[in-house]
């Protein structure tokens, strides 16, 4: 019997892309709610209880509500993948970044509750966590994280405003920074999963392209533990050795590049990591390149789904 999958919130940006990725699958049965029924709590409850795996593509409070619906019904069989920020640092949820460490894939396979990482935090954690684990980057290093995302990360309202040529924001939104209080919702997730002792300064921004992302983590080599550009690269390469979704670009290839484009991986579910800089200047810039809706959201959710289905 085919496992049943329910995308709770399938009409939102992340949900739509997950639905598209599952459209041609013959190994699963996808439960679907018509758009006009999306606020029907009874129908939603019915779908949640019937699903083998439910993917929550909802605001935080609605995701918590879905969990409560299952708890109130005494349902302990429906497994969950939550793409919201509601459970990303929760001890009872498995973090859905399969490449996080050597044990994470097995944890996801066996999990009943998986929290899908955020797009910015996927890139940041991918760069920072291996260096902390290798003892290269101290937990109290004063990290700065700068990132730019495609506007689809802002959801339907931002998409509509930027794509509407008659809207003032269409003209204004060539590039802008936001979360100016430095309290972006992904920061607690980055701190928790990188075991950081000092809160990083994170500056996100949005540009006028639909999908794609760059996350930058600049570092001073003299602030690291006996390190060089090659040692930083080796730590990343060793951590992700044998992985096909997270790829560490060689120093030789990186040195030949004139630039790194945020849109280059749009429509793909992989992530590329670059180590830029030189020992002479004493600076290194770590760059993660991904699709904010690919490995940064919908693609990661489907990756987690496939792991859970393999149990």
Residues 6+ apart with CB under 8 A from 76: 70, 112
Q: Out of 119, 194, 227, 276, pick the active-site residue.
A: 119
Q: Is 227 part of the annotated catalytic residue set?
A: no
Please tell me the total number of residues recorded for the chain in this structure: 311
Strand partners for 144? 201
H-only helix segments in the chain? 13-22, 41-50, 60-72, 104-110, 119-133, 155-163, 168-172, 187-194, 229-239, 251-255, 299-309
Residues 6+ apart with CB under 8 A from 50: 4, 6, 31
- Return the biggest CA–CA distance within the chain: 64
Closest CA to 291 of 227, 232, 214, 239: 214
Active site residues: 119
């Amino acid at each position: 019997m085919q496992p049943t999958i329910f995308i709770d919130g399938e009409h939102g940006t992340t949900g739509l892309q997950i639905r598209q990725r599952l459209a041609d699958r013959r190994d699963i049965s996808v439960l679907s709610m018509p758009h006009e029924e999306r606020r029907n709590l009874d129908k939603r409850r019915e779908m949640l209880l019937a699903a083998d795996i439910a993917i929550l593509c909802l605001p935080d409070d609605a995701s918590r509500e879905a969990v409560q619906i299952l708890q109130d019904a005494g349902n302990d069989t429906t497994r969950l993948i939550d793409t919201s920020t509601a459970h990303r640092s929760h001890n009872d949820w498995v973090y859905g970044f399969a490449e996080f460490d050597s044990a994470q894939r097995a944890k996801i396979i066996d999990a009943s509750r998986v929290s899908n990482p955020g797009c910015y935090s996927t890139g940041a954690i991918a760069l920072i966590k291996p260096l902390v684990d290798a003892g290269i980057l101290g937990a109290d290093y004063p990290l700065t994280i700068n990132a730019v995302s495609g506007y689809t990360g802002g959801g339907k309202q931002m998409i509509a405003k930027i794509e509407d040529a008659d809207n003032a924001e269409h003209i204004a939104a060539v590039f802008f920074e936001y979360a100016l209080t430095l309290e972006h919702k992904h920061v607690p997730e980055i701190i928790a999963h990188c075991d950081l002792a000092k809160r990083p300064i994170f500056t996100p921004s949005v540009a006028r392209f639909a999908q794609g992302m760059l996350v930058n983590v600049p570092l001073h080599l003299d602030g690291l533990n006996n390190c060089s550009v090659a040692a930083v690269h080796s730590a990343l390469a060793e951590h992700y050795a044998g992985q096909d979704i997270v790829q560490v670009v060689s120093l030789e290839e990186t040195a030949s590049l004139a630039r790194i484009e945020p849109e280059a991986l749009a429509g793909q579910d992989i992530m590329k990591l670059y180590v830029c800089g030189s020992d002479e200047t004493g600076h290194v810039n770590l760059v993660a390149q991904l699709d904010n809706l690919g490995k940064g959201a919908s693609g990661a959710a489907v990756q987690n789904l496939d792991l859970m289905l393999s149990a």
